[in-house]
Amino acid sequence: MSAWETILQQLINGLISGSFYALVALGYSMVYGIIKLLNFAHGDIYMTGAFVCLSVFGYLPQIMPDWLWIMLPPWAWITLSILIAMIISGGLGYLAQRFAYRPLLGAPRLSLLITAIGVSLVIYNSAMTLTQSRPRAFLSGLDSVSGFQFGNVKITYIKIVLLIVTAVLMVGLTIFIEKTMRGKAMRAIALDKDTCKLMGINVNKVIGLTFIIGSALAAVAGGMACVNYGNLKYDMGYLIGIKAFTAAVIGGIGSIPGAMLGGLLLGLLEALGTHFLSSIDSRGAQWTDAFAFGILILILIFKPNGLLGKSEVERM
């Protein structure tokens, strides 16, 4: 494989991982933009969505007639499993908002942050107990080999579908935020919550919807991870949660386009950085995370508000 083919293959790999980061980062940015909360439980919502997808996909053959299970292709059942995971994860995100975060909306931000860490630990330890700390395999039944070949560069059909799904969700979310009344209400609350209350906007309802959408997107990323990686573990949400938060900060925390850009950019930088470091040292792949967070530090030094972030003026 030539140097250019290797770089192109790494770019494809970076887009795939960046898609996961972007979908999870969207939840971080949406929540921060509307209530200024760093929801560190979001990575665990991603993990929950993955395990729900796995459980539903494994349980469906037991309740469906054999002829129906055989007649429909595996991707149809995977899609159904992801949809159910979106509903359950969205519900979990709403419950966390309703009972853990909403009572503290008037409290100092530090109280909200500590509560978010507490919610994360509750979900994390619950998953660890339910799974007995054992990894789980996801056998999708899809063809993970076939795809397009360009010389020595290959992209499978599964990865193409994952990229298309991510693009559709990003475009759909952008249209929702920009064009719908609920989306405009979200943007208005992000600017001035008190004035929105005076204008008759149900602020709590809109905040709840924000958590539902963000959690559902994280569940999609979790289901996609099931298909792409084929294995799950109770702590899978920790690292991607940190990296998605990093992506959100790189793009500009609170900015929806910034979260998309930051996620894809982080995935590409990771892939290319890993390739570069591995070419220098055989242990270069071990420095992938250090490289990613080093990039974060550099961006924040020269662009403190992120690539697409805006400066905020605190009113006294």
- List, for residues 15-73, the tens digit of each pLDDT value: 999 999 999 999 999 999 888 888 999 999 999 999 999 999 988 888 888 878 788 88
Choice between 61 and 84, residue whose per-residue pLDDT is larger:
84
pLDDT in the model for residue 304 = 83
Would you say residue 16 lies in a domain?
no
Would you say residue 53 lies in a domain?
yes
CA distance 36 to 241: 17
Q: Looking at the predicted structure, is the pLDDT value of residue 168 above 90?
A: yes
Q: Looking at the predicted structure, is the pLDDT value of residue 80 above 90?
A: yes
Would you say residue 147 lies in a domain?
yes
Domain span holding position 155: 23-238
Would you say residue 230 lies in a domain?
yes
What band does 316 get if pLDDT is binned at 50, 70 and 90?
very low
Would you say residue 273 lies in a domain?
no
CA distance 74 to 81: 11
Would you say residue 107 lies in a domain?
yes
CA distance 21 to 95: 24
Answer whether 60's CB lies under 8 Å from 77's CB. yes
User: In this prediction, what percent of the chain has a pLDDT beyond 70?
Assistant: 95
Total domains in the chain come to 1
Give the residue-averaged pLDDT of 205-222.
96
Answer whether 168's CB lies under 8 Å from 237's CB. no
Answer whether 51's CB lies under 8 Å from 288's CB. no
Q: Tell me what the pLDDT averaged over the chain comes to.
A: 88
Would you say residue 14 lies in a domain?
no
Would you say residue 251 lies in a domain?
no
